[in-house]
Amino acid sequence: MRFQVKDLLPRYVTPSMLRWGAVGMTTFAIDYTLFLALFDLSNSVFLANLISVTIATSFNYYTHHKWTFKSDQNHSRSGFKYLINLTFWWIISTSVIKTLVVFGIDPKFAKLAPLVLIVPINYFVLNKIVFKQKI
């Protein structure tokens, strides 16, 4: 019997992971595009990141709730947990971006740096805590 990578996919890659990836890439495109445009206008990492994250996150929350995780939790429950998660990661990402910009890194690249930390952890937080299905 021969080992093939495609044999691992059904076991380790679930449909919700694939939907999460699609939503994440779309959210990233919204966030990144808005951040760059708003930073060019305002020259403020704080303001540009606040507005871009707010808009992108609204899209992200509703899409994950309805499509990615097909959550049956009401919005007051999952929304509250989502906002806590969002606030935590927004503080981290804004701090990293601001620090990198102060050290002379172009904001276009600084905006990407926090993703290295956030992306690998966030699927599990959303799936197991924020949009956890009722048993």
Tens digit of pLDDT for each residue in 28-84? Answer: 999 999 999 999 999 998 899 899 989 998 999 999 999 998 888 888 989 999 999
88 within some domain: yes
pTM of the model: 0.73
Residue 4 has pLDDT above 70, yes or no: no
135 within some domain: no
pLDDT given for residue 2 in this prediction = 65
18 within some domain: yes
pLDDT given for residue 11 in this prediction = 65
d(CA 38, CA 50): 10
Residue 117 has pLDDT above 70, yes or no: yes
In this prediction, residue 135 has a pLDDT band, given cuts at 50, 70 and 90, of: very low
Mapping DSSP to helix (H, G, I), strand (E, B) and coil, where does residue 105 land? coil
85 within some domain: yes
Residue 104, C-beta contacts closer than 8 angstroms, at least 6 positions apart: none
Mapping DSSP to helix (H, G, I), strand (E, B) and coil, where does residue 42 land? helix
34 within some domain: yes
| Helix, strand, coil share (%) of the chain residues, nearest 5 | 80, 0, 20
Tell me how many domains the chain contains.
Answer: 1
Q: CA 28 from chain center: how many Å?
A: 7
Residue 97 belongs to what domain range? Answer: 5-130
pLDDT given for residue 5 in this prediction = 56
d(CA 123, CA 21): 9
pLDDT given for residue 134 in this prediction = 58
pLDDT given for residue 133 in this prediction = 64
d(CA 112, CA 34): 13
Instruction: Give residue-wise pLDDT tens across range 99-114.
Output: 999 999 998 899 899 9
In this prediction, residue 6 has a pLDDT band, given cuts at 50, 70 and 90, of: low
